Amino acid sequence: MNEVIIIYAATLLLAWPLGKYIAGVFNGGKGAAGAVFLPVENGLYRLFGVDPSQPMSWQGYGKAFLKLHLVLVLIIFGLLMAQGFLFLNPDGIGGMSWDLALHTAVSFLTNTNQQHYSGQAQLSYLAHTFGIVTLQVVTPAAGMAALVAIVRTLFVRGDKQSQASSEGPVSVGNFYEDITRSVVRVMLPVAAVVALIIASQGVPNSYEGARTAIPLDQTAEMAEQNIPIGPVAPMVAIKQVGTNGGGWYGPNSSVPLENPTPISNFVQTVSLVLIPAAMVFALGFMTGRRRLAMVVMGVMVVMSVSLTSVAIWSENQPNAAFSGLAAEGPNLEGKEVRFGATATALWGSWTTQTSNGSVNGMHDSFNPIGGMIPMIDMFINVTFGGIGVGLIGYLLFLLLAAFLGSLMIGRAPEIAGKALETREMKLVCIALLIQPLLILGFSAITVAFPALTGNSNPGFHGISQVIYEYASAFANNGSGFEGLGDSTVWWNVTCAVNLALGRFIPILAPLAVAASLAAKRSAPEGRGSPSIDTPTFGLMTLAVIVMFTLLSFMPVLILGPIAEALALMS
């Protein structure tokens, strides 16, 4: 357990200064760093013909957000279909089918990286580096930009926005400036540092073709083996720090070429949570509400430690298949023995507490309770969450907690002196309730019509696999119970729907809420006003998160992993 404590401590200690730096980036960006990056940013503004000083309403911000994603998905979809005819393809890999290309393009567009393909076998170097890595840089940056717009709008002090609203729509900032600063000043520098570290540990970084090796146990069936390589290190770096998750190789970071040493495993594990945690600290520095940031971090750490502890405990229990045997010990099925049960369970919990989804072991081989924890992580989806979107989701629960808390003490619902009215709460409910609607709806159809959907997994574990796949898509996570045969038209299309709606609605609805609240005049906060930066309110928010998750998903947890665990105990 010492390694777990060290990783938690290292992540939080690094997240604090990084959060302060990120706040400086979006609070003006002056200083030495600004002098270095500003010429690059100005060049990008001129190249794309945008004016970063032009203020935007939430509608304008949202349209710019959606237009960027629409252009990117069309480019990447075409690239994946045509990669067989393009350059940087030394291994002669052909193009994808339309449905797999659609799913892959939407998956990476939404910062999900859910893979229904095996990267080293089905993507050219061009598709990997220009297509996939581009999206792995831009999409988390877009999530960060959206969070910054919401935070600056929702927590602005005084009546500044209210007074401005009489002259026109409330400004939430400029999308092009926010995303450019996120890419140039945050995503690329952090990813570059991680790439250098893991490359020093032996992760490949080359444009050469596959290497040929002669096996020690050479047979007529396998006289030689082709080992794909490529510019793996930079992709692995951005997949981790960008809460992306899609690896160069199909088995992801359980492959020694992606994750060769204990040092690389340590760095990649820390990278899972680093920027999402830093965004919480940035919230405090950006708004001056440092107590609020500490309360939010406290709630997230409590959820993280609780869920991770259960996962580690479960995976250190014997696999039921070895019950009663002398070899009984921790569950090592589907795990890379270099890391063991504890490090794999920690990674499995952290990768689903964020929207990362990368793996250093197979979640499908976890014990039932251990496999249930990643599912719960994705149902909650705000423990740390993806870059930007995790904290956005937490703010939705914070608004719901403020609404309920105000009603419980007999006051009109408000937050920070702004009235929470029908418009705001409708948007909050839409953003929250679409999750169980899509996950449970598509899961019910898939389980009810196995011949149509191609689901061939029977029993309780089969239900878990289906629920996990759709939860992973909606949560923009990307991990999976890989016993599921998911590369079919049904899975590709329905998951693409989940991917898109699970990304855009939970971003745009809170942006509209923030603008709506900012347009209202602030009333003086009285003694009965809910104070959102106290531990008591933090507990209230935690209770709302837990109750919402249990009410939405407890029945399917009972039908899936809990029933499987009870069956194995009998």
- Per-residue pLDDT of 180-230, as tens digits, reads 999 999 999 999 999 999 999 999 988 877 788 888 777 767 778 788 888
Q: What is the arithmetic mean of pLDDT over 415-425?
A: 88
Q: Looking at the domain assignment, is residue 9 inside a domain? A: no
Q: Looking at the domain assignment, is residue 404 inside a domain? A: yes
Question: Is the model's pLDDT at 126 over the cut of 50?
Answer: yes
Q: Looking at the domain assignment, is residue 532 inside a domain? A: yes
Q: Looking at the domain assignment, is residue 514 inside a domain? A: yes
Weakest mean pLDDT among 14-18, 104-108, 453-457, 487-491: 453-457
Q: Looking at the domain assignment, is residue 290 inside a domain? A: no
Give the per-residue pLDDT at 163. 42
Give the per-residue pLDDT at 529. 66
How do residues 221-230 score in pLDDT, each as one tens digit?
777 878 888 8
Give the per-residue pLDDT at 157. 45
Q: Looking at the domain assignment, is residue 219 inside a domain? A: no
- Residues 70 and 289: their CA atoms lie apart, in Å, by 36
Give the per-residue pLDDT at 321. 77
Q: What is the arithmetic mean of pLDDT over 13-42?
A: 87
Q: What is the arithmetic mean of pLDDT over 413-421?
A: 85
Residue 334 · residue 366 · CB < 8 Å: yes
The model's confidence at residue 7, banded by pLDDT at 50, 70 and 90, is very high
Question: Is the model's pLDDT at 164 over the cut of 50?
Answer: no
Burial of 451 (0-12, 13-18, 19+ CB in 10 A): exposed
Question: Is the model's pLDDT at 154 over the cut of 50?
Answer: yes
Weakest mean pLDDT among 160-169, 293-302, 511-520: 160-169
pLDDT averaged over every residue in the chain: 90
Q: Please give the model's pTM, rounded to 2 decimal places.
A: 0.93
H-assigned helices in 110-224: 119-122, 125-126, 133-154, 160-165, 175-181, 188-200
Question: Is the model's pLDDT at 159 over the cut of 80?
Answer: no
Torsional sign, CA 443, 360, 274, 172: negative
Question: Is the model's pLDDT at 35 over the cut of 90?
Answer: no
Q: Looking at the domain assignment, is residue 433 inside a domain? A: yes
Q: How many domains does the chain have?
A: 1
- Of 347, 351, 348, 315, the closest CA to residue 333 belongs to 315
Give the per-residue pLDDT at 162. 45
Q: Looking at the domain assignment, is residue 304 inside a domain? A: no
Domain membership of residue 146 as a residue range: 20-213+225-273+387-570
Give the per-residue pLDDT at 459. 87
